[in-house]
Structure 1
Amino acid sequence: MSSVTDFVNLNISNIPDKIIAEYIWIGGSGLDIRSKARTLSGAFDNPQKLPKWNYDGSSTGQAHGNDTEVILYPQAIFKDPFRRGNNILVLCDAYNPTGDPVYTNKRYDAAKVFNHPDVVAQLPWFGLEQEYTLMEKDTKWPLGWPQGGFPRPQGPYYCGVGAEKVVGRGIVDAHYKACLYAGTNIGGVNAEVMPGQWEFQIGPSIGIAAADELWVARYILERVAEIAGVIISFDPKPIAVSLLLENTSSVSFSLTLFSNTFGTLFTYIQQGDWNGAGGHTNYSTKSMREDGGYEAIQKAIEKLGLRHEAHIARYGEGNERRLTGHHETADINTFTWGVAKRGVSARVGRDTAKEGKGYFEDRRPGSNMDPYVVTSMVAETTILWKP
């Protein structure tokens, strides 16, 4: 008797001149990832040679009215770690039938920045740190936490080892290897400060490729978690609790999870002090990596400080719950920077300061940031903008 798994693992590489291409795009929320598959003839290594495709934008919140067709333009190709063989993942961006980008297509404007001659000349490198939280599917509570309760306070979990310290390592390792198989430039993984929270890194990658690879890595993570029956949360502050609520109708509070359990008379005692989840963005240009680059780094950070509010406004929804000035963050209203400090807006590594060249880290982006927006804003502000 055959099982579904037998057919999932069926090798179709012996079928001549046929591959499965999984087209991937970003949906109407700007964070949801959509995909669908098609059969193609031949082998492809150039996305421009792949056929465009379309989908019903009214079902993704990206089109309204009588004409709801949205067109997919292939932009990057990766190996498919799920179907394997010659099958591929195709990262796309979305356009309406007139050729204009739909409002969630942030890649379109990012490409303009990264194709600018001044930006191309500076060869911008990005290393993107993606933090996320594994959640139970039914309870929406962090994986490994006591149901409705809290684990021991933070401390032993960051880069921890052992059943009492980490949970979900199998999912993380499967994702890591799948990203390597796909051809993304994934740099590593680690358990984060809050239990049930993990991080992976993309890069260093050049220009828009960093954002392409992060989106594909997110897609692969969602697929691996789907198989495991676990939810991925990119919320910048998945656990945030105010203290001792006597009357919830008159007290401003935030409990992202379990909010539906509060009554008018309910006392809640906060247990533990939980880190948020970020999308820290490491960045350098050719000028920063050359001798004397520390001056270029300082000038770039100064520019970022001058446009702090504009960047914060596009660095992730709900990020104000994370950027409190605590838990290794700077206050959202103030731009600060320093060497080897994590409670600042921009951090310069000790090695960079010592060598007088290298890179710096923008610690402000939240875990749900759009990498097209963040990377292109950083490049535009530091290279093209003339204050």
Structure 2
Amino acid sequence: MAKYRLDYIWLDGYTPVQNLRTKCMLRDFDEFPTLDQLPEWGFDGSSTQQAEGGDSDCVLKPVALYPDATRENGIIVMCEVMLPDGTAHPSNARATIADDPDTWFGFEQEYFLMQDGVPLGFPKGGYPNPQGEYYCGVGFKNVGGMAREITDLHLDLCLYAGINHEGINAEVAKGQWEFQVFAKGSKKAADDIWVARFLLLRLCEEYEVDVEWHCKPITGDWNGSGMHANFSTKHLREVGGKEYFLKLMDAFEEYCEEHIAVYGPDNDKRLTGLHETQSIDKFSWGVADRGASVRVPHGFVKDDAYKGYLEDRRPNSQGDPYKIASRIIKTIQSVEI
């Protein structure tokens, strides 16, 4: 038998943005364990905004496993939080979301790398040159001396963990970066995003760098951070059609408030109609329009097919991917085929 390090991770009860928590268990296995071999585990919910001190026991239920390249026989264990009676904790969004493995998601997670309270590359007490050269930039003046090392290592860790990264790049603002993850179904896509966030946060501890998920950490003429949700359904991929697409966009407009409600807090600071966004109180779609609520790729409308994937640009960088993916699926399911 070999001793395995199991890093259980879960989402706490803080609002409006939940934090990742983790603690480590060691167990002996003959080989890499399966999900059903891992035990449930308890934690003190009174320390995570998930219970009162007089009745503080909460339960961690393993729901997904990820190999951990940084540890010998290491495994990251994504967990749901349960109450002692076996029901889902009120903070456990994963347990009740709409899920459909035929709905595919590609999340574009943007974030800022911060040190001493400012984005990497910002001079102390001032600002760098205006944004323009930083997007997909190369060279020290554009990306600094450690950001690319961090983002490249993060990519390697995610790939080792089995997370389907599709790309990384420096973003429009100084110190801002993005990674893209593709998966099928709400739970798988959101699990992968949360574990990728965990890996980035833990990696940045070694560099004494913080990850800023807030959607508008710098006021002024700087892009905010989104988590654009690219999505497609079996019908969109295989059938499509303009009539169905227009009905789908009508539904997205009808449920605009419900989408905004789960697309991340402080989105009014980001969705201003500036910096490649539509205003938060409006809905629009447009072909290749980065200022639209839903961007339609040229390939989607090619030959008048209206088939493929769409990009909802409204979700923000600190949004909960469980709730975002679930809301998109609910709106899609409201449209008759």
TM-score, normalised by the number of residues in structure 1: 0.82
Verify the 8 A CA contact 1:141 1:148 in the aligned structure 2. no
Q: Please tell me whether residue 19 in structure 1 is matched to residue 7 in structure 2.
A: no
Unaligned runs of 5+ in 2: none
Q: Please tell me whether residue 128 in structure 1 is matched to residue 118 in structure 2.
A: no
Question: What is the CA–CA distance in structure 2 between the aligned matches of 1:238 and 1:128, rounded to whole Å?
Answer: 20
Residue deviations 1:100-157, cap 9 Å, x none?
Answer: 22222110111xx21xxxx45xx10000000000001xx3111110112100001000
Residue deviations 1:279-317, cap 9 Å, x none?
Answer: 100000000001445544333222111100111011111
Instruction: Give 1:193 deviation, angstroms.
Output: 0.2
Question: What is the CA–CA distance in structure 2 between the aligned matches of 1:194 and 1:204, rounded to whole Å?
Answer: 27
Residue deviations 1:247-281, cap 9 Å, x none?
Answer: xxxxxxxxxxxxxxxxxxxxxxxxxx100000100
- Of 258, 276, 282, the residue aligned with 2:224 is 276
Instruction: Give 1:225 deviation, angstroms.
Output: 0.7
Equivalent position SS for 1:169: helix
Question: What is the CA–CA distance in structure 2 between the aligned matches of 1:294 and 1:283, rounded to whole Å?
Answer: 17
Question: What is the CA–CA distance in structure 2 between the aligned matches of 1:32 and 1:52, rounded to whole Å?
Answer: 20
Partner residue in 1 for 2:184: 205
- Of 354, 360, 377, the residue aligned with 2:302 is 354
Q: Please tell me whether residue 105 in structure 1 is matched to residue 83 in structure 2.
A: no
Residue deviations 1:14-73, cap 9 Å, x none?
Answer: xx3321111010112243111111111213453233110010011111111411011001
Partner residue in 1 for 2:121: 144
Verify the 8 A CA contact 1:293 1:358 in the aligned structure 2. no
Unaligned runs of 5+ in 1: 1-15, 242-272
Equivalent position SS for 1:325: coil
Verify the 8 A CA contact 1:347 1:360 in the aligned structure 2. yes
- Of 210, 215, 220, the residue aligned with 1:231 is 210
- Of 318, 321, 333, the residue aligned with 1:368 is 318
Verify the 8 A CA contact 1:24 1:34 in the aligned structure 2. yes
Equivalent residue letter for 1:211: A
Instruction: Give 1:208 deviation, angstroms.
Output: 1.6
Question: What is the CA–CA distance in structure 2 between the aligned matches of 1:65 and 1:135, rounded to whole Å?
Answer: 34
Distance 1:294 1:228, change over 3 A: farther
Partner residue in 2 for 1:340: 288
Question: What is the CA–CA distance in structure 2 between the aligned matches of 1:184 and 1:101, rounded to whole Å?
Answer: 26
Partner residue in 2 for 1:51: 39
Verify the 8 A CA contact 1:185 1:205 in the aligned structure 2. no
Partner residue in 2 for 1:173: 152
Question: What is the CA–CA distance in structure 1 between the aligned matches of 2:23 and 2:270, rounded to whole Å?
Answer: 34
Distance 1:308 1:292, change over 3 A: closer
Equivalent position SS for 1:41: strand
Question: What is the CA–CA distance in structure 1 between the aligned matches of 2:246 and 2:73, rounded to whole Å?
Answer: 46
- Of 323, 326, 332, the residue aligned with 1:382 is 332
Distance 1:323 1:213, change over 3 A: same
Instruction: Give 1:376 deviation, angstroms.
Output: 0.7
Question: What is the CA–CA distance in structure 2 between the aligned matches of 1:313 and 1:207, rounded to whole Å?
Answer: 18
Equivalent residue letter for 2:8: Y
RMSD over aligned Cα, in angstroms? Answer: 1.5
Q: Which has the higher strand share?
A: 2
Distance 1:185 1:372, change over 3 A: same
Question: What is the CA–CA distance in structure 1 between the aligned matches of 2:184 and 2:175, rounded to whole Å?
Answer: 28
Aligned length: 329
- Identity score, percent: 46
TM-score, normalised by the number of residues in structure 2: 0.94
Partner residue in 2 for 1:221: 200
Verify the 8 A CA contact 1:297 1:360 in the aligned structure 2. no
Verify the 8 A CA contact 1:324 1:332 in the aligned structure 2. yes
Question: What is the CA–CA distance in structure 2 between the aligned matches of 1:82 and 1:37, rounded to whole Å?
Answer: 14
- Of 134, 137, 149, the residue aligned with 1:157 is 134
Partner residue in 1 for 2:28: 41
Question: What is the CA–CA distance in structure 2 between the aligned matches of 1:82 and 1:106, rounded to whole Å?
Answer: 29
Structure 1 stretches of 4+ with a deviation exceeding 6 A read none
Partner residue in 2 for 1:289: 237
